[in-house]
Chain A
Amino acid sequence: MALIDYHYEMSHCHRCSYCKFIPFQLIKSKRFSYLCPSISLRNFHSFSAGGRAALGLAVVEGRLDEYTDMMKQIVFECTMCGACQVQCRTFNFNLNPIEVMQALRTHFVEQGEMMPEHMFVIEGLKREDNVFGEPKKHRGDWAEGLGLKDISREKVDVLLHVGCRMSFDDEFWPILKMAVEIMKSAGLSVGIAGAEESCCGGRALEMGFEGVFQNFAEAMAGRVKASGAKQVVTLCADCFGTFNEHYPAYGWALDAEVVHITQFINNLISRGKLTLKNQVPMAVTYHDPCHLGRRGEPGVQWKGEYKRLGPHLFGPVPEKPIRLGQSGCYDAPREILEAIPGVELTEMERTREYSWCCGAGGGVLEAFEEMAEAAASERIQEAEATGAKALVTACPWCERNFKDTLEITGGDMKIYDIVELVHQAIGG
């Protein structure tokens, strides 16, 4: 939907500021009551979902004569984590802030008002099919010698979609290999696209480049179909969220079940196909990646408009699905951690659909280092407050950002992908 299509929603923001706090029923302390990394750093109301709705309204009503750098910052210095959406909809019938923010970004890009740093990503995507602009031919290097099937040559049960981050950041290759080992232990035929794999397109969409996204979505859908895979497994929450939310919302369907590695592993455990026998003595806390959790909730394509239901009563016709982020992937990683002998899991105050974002998403990592670091630092402090010694997550973008932040801020918190702990537990 175009920005103008959100006029009713944008004009009906109440400025209640719910989008700035976790649900008031669930606040456990003043220290960790805030929800939105964007306004928590910049403090101007403009940097909240409500502020962005007002900005969008001003744009479509022609109240602004120019696009300033500050406006671009307001629009793009947001991780698109979707926490505001969860909170806003608990109170307001009429506003879907994450959709508004997506439309606002798309509108800005259509007007030529994009972030220069994002252009590096987009050009890389166009040229090399990945967000880093790395040579496409190296995309499958990580799998050398693993004996994985190549989906361009043979059909597979399971397609492992690796994603840009893990493909080109060799620090993650050991984790990928561990995952492959675990998957193979289930006796399934696992394949990859290797150098032919391309980006899911999610980053491009969230940076406002809808057309670029559509191209990648189309390619992905075709690749999956051709592979014959019944399941697409990914370790990347960003890709998971893109497949689950964005693809259906934009009319794309993958002919396979989309499964995050945590769901895959948890399924193996519950079916007795994976035994976690080794002690992993560790006090941990778990960080919900936004695109695995609330933005991993299945999306729905909605075509309709706000109509008058009666005097002074308006609403979306047909009814618009209410997205509260509750159907994302939350239980699988927790059940895995609970199943690992020796692991003591303590939850942070902000968890599940009202989890605090790591700061890496929505193009922030690429264009707004200060915010990425501030968000991650805040989350690490929240993790420390639990008494945990390790922060476990299930997304390479989160992990990368936490680790990079710790290098700057210092600190003893260990960062793990959940696969690493599983691997230790199976004695790998």
Chain B
Amino acid sequence: MAIPLEAKKALEEALGAENISDDPGVIETYSHMNGLGSAASGYWWARPAAVALPGSTEEVQKVVKICNEFGLRFKAHSTGWICCALATSKNCVLLDMRRMDGLEFVEPEGYVITEPYATAGETQVEAMKLGYTPHLVGAGPNASNLASATSMQGTGGNSVRTSMNERNPLAIEWVLPSGEILRLGSVDTPNAGWFCGDGPGPSLRGMMRGAVGNIGGNGVFTKIALKLYPWYGPPYECEGHPPFFKTKELPLSFVRYVSWDDRDQECDALYRLGETEILDYTNRWSASALMSSLATTNQEYREMKEKGDLHKVFPNGYWTFFFNASSKRQYDYNVKVFEHVINDTGGVIVDPKDLGDPAYEVAVQNAVRSQWIAKSAYMPTGANTGVPPLTYETIDQCLKYALDETIDVKKEWIETNKVYNDGEDNAYACLDENGHFLHVEHACHADYAEPEAEALGIIFKGYGRALEKNLGAAYMSMPAGWSKRKEYSNYMVAIQRMIDPNRTADSMLTNLAELTGA
């Protein structure tokens, strides 16, 4: 849909003509996505009506008000690396937040104020200079920390130490779909700064997001403060050349691959490892995922797969565990208790270096900078989606119940060649908060050059299974789940209407709900 001339004029006045475009060439490039989540629908999505590049909170506010005035919808995205960043309605003005990429470290308080386009990787680089690390989402260092903290999910391998990103925001600045600027927490108290996001009184963080955010449907988060976590080592450094840079020595660091033959023992070990509180990073993958990280071409990947060496080492899923200790004593204790628990539960420890330097680099770069997880997740086919059940809850629920359901669902799709056969158990999992809960999702690949490719169905099938088997509150993220617990979702919809009376925000969730009649 073409943007009304008057609306375009207003946007040009608000942002400067160079920061708004409805040129078909521009909007077309914002409707393409063959990556995270795109296995659901192929690579072309709705064309936005226009793309705006706001440079400040005030400019965001102006865009949102103009959208309200002219009956347009809007959606903001940061680095845009997921299909949810795209417009889901044709009269949508997409706000590409690239011009808002500020990072401000507040010392000695020890937190960072971030704008939408500052990436997790950049944040970590600067944080490490000060002895901190932020949470890094598993999608990679190229993802925005603000986006995962406010609007999407925010799980990553270092969640065992940092939790997932719902738990990390401090003060928040938020342009509501109505165009009002809402600030949460300490920031409106004179001279207080951004160190706290709850209150005063009730915490309105509760209307911002739950286990998952509203994926752009709640307005635009223009600035948030994020908690940082200690990093004991020197700033992480690599040398060499792509694709396998060589990590410079990381003092007092420890990384190992571990696998178990028995799922019960695997769960027992994870509970006990969580209780030791020694880990900074945990990540479950499969041999297939490791191969896709190691291979540099599809041919190489195919050859590795056919050779099957890594499958022999890791016939089931395997875990990567990493820690960085603050002292030799801590290091020694950590290693001792780690080996004690693994040996006691029948686990097999593999030093990644024994599989070669690249395997070590995959492990350590993932562990520190979330560098290769995404490649593991959806190479080599391009399109990817998580197969439900994907959930957060206890270790037992995720690995003893949900995982088998995903394997079962995926098996059917593999057998009909709708998705790629990367092994039935290619589940990604990571511990959160010393094992207090766990996240699991099952990577699923499809290449749309394959005539039989079809992965949208697997999502609905998986969600259906999750609901039928009562697996995890996070499953209610999909509208199908809303109807399962209407006493919950009705209020969510009511809040949505309260903050967005004109239905101005382009919400993928809301649109999907309308589509599916939830």
Q: Do chains A and B touch in the complex (CB under 8 A)?
A: yes
| Interface residue ranges, A against B (CB under 8 Å) | 8, 11-18, 21, 23-30, 33, 39, 42-46, 50-52, 54-55, 57-58, 63-66, 68, 70-71, 74, 86-87, 89-94, 306, 308-316, 319-320, 322, 324, 326, 352-353
A74 touches which of B25, B125, B297 (Cβ 8 Å): B25
- Cα(A309)–Cα(B380), bound, Å: 11
Which residues on the A side are within 8 Å of B34 (C-beta)? 11-15
**In the complex, how many angstroms separate the beta carbon of A11 from the nearest chain B beta carbon?**
6
Which residues on the A side are within 8 Å of B33 (C-beta)? 14-15
Which residues on the A side are within 8 Å of B79 (C-beta)? 17
A313 touches which of B125, B238, B302 (Cβ 8 Å): B302
- Cα(A90)–Cα(B372), bound, Å: 10
B351 interface hit (Cβ, 8 Å)? no
Which residues on the A side are within 8 Å of B232 (C-beta)? none
**In the complex, how many angstroms separate the beta carbon of B322 from the nearest chain A beta carbon?**
16
Q: Are A93 and B297 in contact (CB under 8 A)?
A: yes
Q: Are B80 and A64 in contact (CB under 8 A)?
A: no
Q: Are B420 and A313 in contact (CB under 8 A)?
A: yes
Contact A27:B121 (CB < 8 A) given known A46-B25, A70-B26, A313-B298: yes
**In the complex, how many angstroms separate the beta carbon of A114 from the nearest chain B beta carbon?**
16
Q: Are A311 and B299 in contact (CB under 8 A)?
A: no
Closest to B81 in A: A16
B142 touches which of A13, A24, A63, A68 (Cβ 8 Å): A24
- Cα(A306)–Cα(B99), bound, Å: 37
- Cα(A46)–Cα(B374), bound, Å: 23
B378 interface hit (Cβ, 8 Å)? yes
Q: Are A44 and B96 in contact (CB under 8 A)?
A: yes
Closest to A33 in B: B122
- Cα(A352)–Cα(B242), bound, Å: 12
Contact A93:B379 (CB < 8 A) given known A13-B34, A44-B96: yes
Which residues on the B side are within 8 Å of A320 (C-beta)? 297
Which residues on the A side are within 8 Å of B35 (C-beta)? 13-16
**In the complex, how many angstroms separate the beta carbon of B360 from the nearest chain A beta carbon?**
14
- Cα(A308)–Cα(B34), bound, Å: 18
Which residues on the B side are within 8 Å of A74 (C-beta)? 25-26, 29
**In the complex, how many angstroms separate the beta carbon of B80 from the nearest chain A beta carbon?**
6
Within B359-403, the residues touching A (CB, 8 Å) are 365, 369, 371, 374-375, 378-382
Additional A-B contacts beyond A11-B34, A58-B29, A319-B297 (12; CB < 8 A): A14-B34, A16-B35, A21-B122, A30-B122, A33-B125, A45-B30, A57-B43, A74-B29, A90-B243, A312-B447, A314-B381, A322-B297
A43 touches which of B19, B119, B446 (Cβ 8 Å): B19
Q: Are B296 and A93 in contact (CB under 8 A)?
A: yes
24 contacts between A and B (CB under 8 A): A8-B449, A14-B34, A25-B369, A29-B126, A30-B103, A39-B98, A43-B53, A43-B96, A43-B98, A44-B29, A45-B51, A55-B25, A57-B43, A58-B28, A58-B29, A65-B24, A66-B24, A71-B25, A309-B298, A312-B450, A313-B301, A313-B420, A315-B380, A320-B297
B299 touches which of A13, A50, A319 (Cβ 8 Å): A319
Q: Are B419 and A312 in contact (CB under 8 A)?
A: yes
Which residues on the B side are within 8 Å of A16 (C-beta)? 35, 81, 140, 142, 374
A30 touches which of B25, B118, B378 (Cβ 8 Å): B118
Closest to B141 in A: A24
**In the complex, how many angstroms separate the beta carbon of A13 from the nearest chain B beta carbon?**
6
Contact A308:B32 (CB < 8 A) given known A55-B25, A313-B420: no
B408 interface hit (Cβ, 8 Å)? no
Contact A93:B142 (CB < 8 A) given known A24-B369, A70-B26: no
- Cα(A87)–Cα(B365), bound, Å: 16
Q: Are B24 and A94 in contact (CB under 8 A)?
A: no
**In the complex, how many angstroms separate the beta carbon of B340 from the nearest chain A beta carbon?**
33
Which residues on the A side are within 8 Å of B80 (C-beta)? 15, 17, 45
Which residues on the A side are within 8 Å of B379 (C-beta)? 92-93
Contact A26:B299 (CB < 8 A) given known A12-B382, A15-B32, A313-B447: no
- Cα(A42)–Cα(B29), bound, Å: 14
Q: Are B96 and A23 in contact (CB under 8 A)?
A: no
- Cα(A373)–Cα(B296), bound, Å: 36
**In the complex, how many angstroms separate the beta carbon of B204 from the nearest chain A beta carbon?**
30
Closest to A28 in B: B125
- Cα(A319)–Cα(B119), bound, Å: 34
- Cα(A18)–Cα(B374), bound, Å: 12
- Cα(A306)–Cα(B417), bound, Å: 20
5 nearest A-B pairs in the assembled complex, by CB-CB distance: A14-B35, A312-B420, A71-B25, A315-B298, A90-B242
Q: Are A71 and B298 in contact (CB under 8 A)?
A: no
Q: Are B453 and A312 in contact (CB under 8 A)?
A: yes
**In the complex, how many angstroms separate the beta carbon of B442 from the nearest chain A beta carbon?**
16
B241 interface hit (Cβ, 8 Å)? yes
- Cα(A308)–Cα(B447), bound, Å: 10
Q: Are B24 and A64 in contact (CB under 8 A)?
A: yes
Which residues on the A side are within 8 Å of B99 (C-beta)? 43
A309 touches which of B85, B295, B302 (Cβ 8 Å): B302
Q: Are B369 and A30 in contact (CB under 8 A)?
A: no
Contact A324:B242 (CB < 8 A) given known A30-B118, A313-B298: yes
B245 interface hit (Cβ, 8 Å)? yes
**In the complex, how many angstroms separate the beta carbon of B170 from the nearest chain A beta carbon?**
19
Which residues on the A side are within 8 Å of B299 (C-beta)? 309, 315, 319
- Cα(A394)–Cα(B122), bound, Å: 30
Q: Are A24 and B371 in contact (CB under 8 A)?
A: yes
Q: Are A310 and B26 in contact (CB under 8 A)?
A: no
**In the complex, how many angstroms separate the beta carbon of A244 from the nearest chain B beta carbon?**
18
Which residues on the A side are within 8 Å of B51 (C-beta)? 44-45
**In the complex, how many angstroms separate the beta carbon of B51 from the nearest chain A beta carbon?**
6
B421 interface hit (Cβ, 8 Å)? yes
B284 interface hit (Cβ, 8 Å)? no
**In the complex, how many angstroms separate the beta carbon of B130 from the nearest chain A beta carbon?**
13
B249 interface hit (Cβ, 8 Å)? no
**In the complex, how many angstroms separate the beta carbon of A256 from the nearest chain B beta carbon?**
28
Contact A45:B243 (CB < 8 A) given known A24-B140, A25-B371, A70-B25: no
**In the complex, how many angstroms separate the beta carbon of A54 from the nearest chain B beta carbon?**
4
B212 interface hit (Cβ, 8 Å)? no
- Cα(A320)–Cα(B365), bound, Å: 27
**In the complex, how many angstroms separate the beta carbon of A215 from the nearest chain B beta carbon?**
31
Q: Are A310 and B302 in contact (CB under 8 A)?
A: yes
Which residues on the B side are within 8 Å of A71 (C-beta)? 23-25
B321 interface hit (Cβ, 8 Å)? no
Which residues on the B side are within 8 Å of A93 (C-beta)? 295-298, 301, 379-380
**In the complex, how many angstroms separate the beta carbon of A370 from the nearest chain B beta carbon?**
10
Q: Are A44 and B141 in contact (CB under 8 A)?
A: no
B36 interface hit (Cβ, 8 Å)? yes
A24 touches which of B81, B121, B420, B447 (Cβ 8 Å): B121
- Cα(A18)–Cα(B119), bound, Å: 11
Q: Mark B210-245, 1 if CB is under 8 A from A, else 0.
A: 000000000000000000000000000010011101
Closest to B445 in A: A312
Q: Are A14 and B382 in contact (CB under 8 A)?
A: yes
Within B17-53, the residues touching A (CB, 8 Å) are 18-19, 21, 23-26, 28-36, 43-44, 51, 53
- Cα(A86)–Cα(B30), bound, Å: 23
B297 touches which of A68, A315, A352 (Cβ 8 Å): A315
Which residues on the B side are within 8 Å of A66 (C-beta)? 24
B174 interface hit (Cβ, 8 Å)? no
B463 interface hit (Cβ, 8 Å)? no
B195 interface hit (Cβ, 8 Å)? no
- Cα(A44)–Cα(B365), bound, Å: 30
Which residues on the A side are within 8 Å of B314 (C-beta)? none
Q: Are B365 and A25 in contact (CB under 8 A)?
A: yes
Which residues on the B side are within 8 Å of A324 (C-beta)? 241-243
Q: Mark B124-141, 1 if CB is under 8 A from A, else 0.
A: 011000000000000011
Which residues on the A side are within 8 Å of B449 (C-beta)? 8, 11, 306, 308, 314
**In the complex, how many angstroms separate the beta carbon of A242 from the nearest chain B beta carbon?**
24
Contact A91:B375 (CB < 8 A) given known A11-B34, A21-B119: yes
Which residues on the B side are within 8 Å of A87 (C-beta)? 242
- Cα(A17)–Cα(B142), bound, Å: 7
